[in-house]
């Protein structure tokens, strides 16, 4: 966003970006999100853990959030 060209109004204010520009910003941001981090976050919060208790060690274990997604069981 900050790298885009800024057009100014006659009053010298920055013009509102076009809807297409905003959609492109959102699209690039959305695609840059690490899906594995989201999955690990849900496990850390206890939302998507197995009900048999085998993944209870994930709950509030913030060190696991930084692990590679290949380590998710």
- pLDDT tens digits along 7-56: 888 898 888 888 999 999 999 999 999 888 888 888 888 888 888 988 88
Comparing 70 with 62, which gets the higher pLDDT?
62
Q: Spell out the domain ranges in the chain.
A: 1-32, 35-71
* Cα separation, 25 vs 1, whole angstroms: 7
Contact in structure between 14 and 6 (CB atoms under 8 Å): yes
- Total-model pTM: 0.49
Strand partners, 14: 8
């Amino acid at each position: 966003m900050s790298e885009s060209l800024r057009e100014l109004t006659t009053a010298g204010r920055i013009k509102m970006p076009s809807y297409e520009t905003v959609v492109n910003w959102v699209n690039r941001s959305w695609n840059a999100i690490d899906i594995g981090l989201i999955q690990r976050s849900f496990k850390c919060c206890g939302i998507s853990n197995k009900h048999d208790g085998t993944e209870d060690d994930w709950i509030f274990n913030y060190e696991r959030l930084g692990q590679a997604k290949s380590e998710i069981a």
